[in-house]
Amino acid sequence: MLAQIINGVFRLLFPKAPAWVPQLLALAIPSTIEMVRELKELQEEGKVKFGIAVSEISELLDDAFDDLPEWSSLTEEQRDRIIGGLVELAVFLEGLVGKMGKRKTLRSARSIMRGLRKAAREN
């Protein structure tokens, strides 16, 4: 479900983007969220956990992204920023689910999607 929401939002916001971009995000973000959930069990401070998450996810995603067009043309710093952003997004989404619950978060996301679709049609 999350993958569909990510794909839909990205397609609405960036309709001219290559088709592989939202598919990539739809795969990367849920796996990143899963990693964040696993790291919640560590008895470390937030910054340390975030560093571990970035390190683990960077390794996982960097290898997986090697087959993507243009990924190899990015500098290591650019790659790290993209992966760090994915981790930040995953931490944010996991926090929402933790506070609001899965159902309420999904309802909220669907409501946002409807609003985005309506705005896109009006423009």
Query: Residues 9-51: pLDDT tens digits?
Result: 777 777 787 777 777 777 777 777 777 777 777 766 667 766 7
List own/partner pairs for 29-34 with CB under 8 A and 24 or more apart.
Answer: 29/2, 29/3, 29/86, 29/89, 29/90, 29/93, 30/2, 30/3, 31/60, 32/57, 32/61, 32/86, 32/87, 32/89, 32/90, 33/2, 33/90, 33/93, 33/94
E strands in the chain: none
Query: How would residue 6 be classed by pLDDT, with cut points 50, 70 and 90?
Result: confident
> pLDDT digit string (tens) for 66-120?
777 777 888 889 888 887 787 777 777 777 777 777 778 777 777 877 787 777 7
Does the pTM exceed 0.75?
A: no
